[in-house]
Chains A and B, each alone.
Chain A
Amino acid sequence: MEEIIPSLKGMLKDATNIKSDATRFEITITVLTKIKGNVADPDEILVMLKMFGGLKEDVPMEININNDTQIIELKFQTEEDFKKIQKIMETIWDDAVDMLEQASQGDFSRIKNIPKIDD
């Protein structure tokens, strides 16, 4: 794993396309790599936002996942919630890889800040 960590940020950016629609409070993640099976489950999206995005609380959102098109839609009720997640999504891949890199070097400080996750 250590060998590939440095290239993960670029790989994740190449493998996904994130778009935001501020008028409709929507964020779409398109997964560009061909996935066997489900692209994601709604619970996994929430875990990802908490684990790598630092989301502390439950944010109401509608999650639609199309496994054929590999498009994940996140719809929010308020602008505040939309902006909160939009900000997280701007750096989430970098944050995830940084966290992984730190942890693989024995630095678990960021992991300790992860809120309770239902695994």
Chain B
Amino acid sequence: MTDPNALENNPFKELGEIPENKYDNGYTLNSTYITVRDGVKIAATICLPKGLSPNDKIPTLLTQTRYWRAMELRIPFRWLFDSMITNAPNPEIVTSRGYSLIYTDVRGTGASSGTRIIPFSEEEVKDGSDIVDWIITQPWSDGNVVSKGISYTGTTAELFSGNNHQAIKAVMPGHGFWDPYTDVAFPGGCYDHAFMQMWSFLGKNLDLNSPKVFSQIMPEVWLFVKGVKAVSSDMDLKLLQDAITQHKSNLYVYEHTVKRDFRDDKLPDGTIFDDLSIFARKEKIESSKVPILAWCSWYDSGYGDAIINRFMNLSNPTIAILGDWTHGAGLPANQFYPDRTIVTPKPRDRINAWLNFFDKCVYGDGIQGKIIYYYTLAEEKWKKSRVWPPKGHSYQKWYFSENYSLTREEPATDVGADNYKINFRTTTGRNNRWWALLGLPITYYNRNKIDEKLLCYTSQPFGADTEITGQIILCLYLASTHEDGAIFAYFEDVDEKGNVTYVTDGEFRLIHRKVLSTEPPYKILIPYHSYNKEDAAPLVPGEITEVKFGLHATSVLIKKGHRIKIAIAGADKDTFIRYPKEGRPTITISRNKEFPSYIKLPIITKE
């Protein structure tokens, strides 16, 4: 949770005061099928402000989901509410601000017909354009459409802009990826087995209209949800049953990624991970010139990096926001303040701020240029910048040294190395940045105890407050007893009392260590690894090799008197696949004149 008193540069304040409501009588709820170009029927739920006169023309906020656009409730709750909208935004707020709100089930999901082989397919993206064509012919439409979402729906909103439809005026991807290979499926080339399996399991059950899945992963939802809401005209539920029958042909990412390793491995339809990405559709999105408000948290999977990559690589007018909450901002996640229980800003205030952005794009001059707002942990302040990295940025190297220390001085001796036998029971548990994608809290607590199993290097107390903003780069000169392996590195703050607070981490599979000098597919500020098959190479046991990779971006103030710590593991058992599959490697990290392992901190010096 950001500090509610952090008002300076606060993006939610800078988006403007909340205007008076345009409608105050609640909203109507209807549903229909929108038939798209190839005959697939897209289920749509439509919320309109009550009291809309025939002369009133209003813009539309569209959210396209794969998690059921609306839910049929169990009795007795169905006797109170006709249905429940699956996803934010809250229809009462949106309609009172003078927008119609439309939720759709993307093809192959919910009550929509069709099948899906991969998520975010070209056909799924094109459906957005057909839906807009339908919207702007409705009697209440003023011809303007905006789109927003969180996570999957955030990505559909962003890809939606690439349709280049003149009615699309702005999009707001929240907590979405930029590069699905590194941001979610294979961070650092390590397979996020936990999320990929759970997400596919959830998706498959949703597509088959089986609420039983909730009893296992979201029991509180199972208590009141019976299934997906059928379209109201589908009285005998025949169309819903037909849709579910078609969904049986769907494929799920876990099944076709769990035995893959490389970025260029083919998906079942012949595409590769990059084809699902935002960066591969950069040209289309840029040519739309649609303003983008992208927001996320430093702590959410690799999606914080996605915000920065999007900011650096897309030319669209952009507001980017990086805070300190969980995936979707449901809960606070600031590890420096574990006792905070309420997320700031409150959801209602956040949605109103988002609507201010849409108002600017629909009724005003839109937004000009690009700006990024980021929250500095421990300092508890919002900052803003027109460029990334922010002004005052420079790198500061800290070397691994004797007695498990981190120092500013380069090693002067010819010897110096530390051995570490990989402990495959090491885990960050199920409340980490990766499980957070399933809506779970983020709690990297008690790092002191966990670090006892890891290879740690700690600095002396800092002599002055120091801001670190960006991606820390870790460079290890290591040898291993095995041909495969992975490094999980945790960057931590240690206070005067010795309390250890997680700041960020990075993971990296060692076979991908080759740093390429060729142009990466998009601008990055960390060493470029292709993760392609042709660039992968097994380690040569006993041979020292350079392993250099970036940790997930952060912004933190290391206070005067605090120390920094880098803790190294070789596994995170409840989240990632084990590398290697068998055996227990010992790694040797060199820290000498010839092989000086180090971390490079992105420091911000105030001008």
Contact of B211 among A1, A52, A93, A119 (CB under 8 A): A119
Q: Mark A35-52, 1 if CB is under 8 A from B, else 0.
A: 111011000110110011
Q: Mark A79-101, 1 if CB is under 8 A from B, else 0.
A: 00000000000001100100110
Contact of A12 among B80, B82, B222, B226 (CB under 8 A): B80
B211 touches A16 (CB 8 A): no
Q: In the complex, A37 Cα to B223 Cα: how many Å? A: 21
A33 touches B79 (CB 8 A): yes
Point out the residues of chain A lying under 8 angstroms from B464, CB to CB: none
Point out the residues of chain B lying under 8 angstroms from A11, CB to CB: 80
Q: How near does chain B come to A28, taking the closest CB pair, in angstroms?
A: 15
B219 touches A103 (CB 8 A): yes
Point out the residues of chain A lying under 8 angstroms from B219, CB to CB: 103, 108, 111
Q: In the complex, A85 Cα to B495 Cα: how many Å? A: 59
Known contacts A12-B76, A16-B76, A48-B75: does B82 contact A36 (CB below 8 Å)? yes
A31 within 8 A of B: yes
Point out the residues of chain A lying under 8 angstroms from B385, CB to CB: none
* Closest A residue, CB atoms, query B83: A36
B453 within 8 A of A: no
- Interface range on chain B: under 10, 10 to 19, 20 to 34, or 35 or more? 20 to 34
A103 touches B223 (CB 8 A): yes
Known contacts A36-B82, A36-B232, A119-B210: does B76 contact A100 (CB below 8 Å)? no
Q: In the complex, A45 Cα to B74 Cα: how many Å? A: 10
B360 within 8 A of A: no
Q: How near does chain A come to B215, taking the closest CB pair, in angstroms?
A: 7
Point out the residues of chain A lying under 8 angstroms from B211, CB to CB: 119
A45 touches B75 (CB 8 A): yes
B:53-104 near A, CB below 8 Å = 74-80, 82, 84
Contact of A16 among B74, B79, B84, B226 (CB under 8 A): B79
Apart from A52-B76, A92-B76, A96-B76, what are 14 other A-B pairs with CB-CB below 8 Å? A8-B80, A12-B76, A36-B82, A37-B235, A39-B75, A48-B74, A48-B76, A96-B77, A100-B220, A103-B220, A103-B223, A111-B219, A119-B212, A119-B215
21 contacts between A and B (CB under 8 A): A1-B84, A1-B224, A8-B77, A8-B80, A15-B76, A15-B79, A33-B80, A35-B78, A35-B79, A36-B232, A39-B75, A39-B79, A44-B75, A44-B226, A51-B74, A93-B76, A100-B220, A103-B219, A103-B223, A111-B219, A119-B210
Interface residues of B (CB under 8 A from A): 74-80, 82, 84, 210-212, 215, 219-220, 222-224, 226, 232, 235
What are the 7 tightest A-B residue pairs by CB atom distance, in nearest-first order? A103-B220, A119-B212, A104-B220, A111-B219, A108-B219, A40-B75, A31-B79
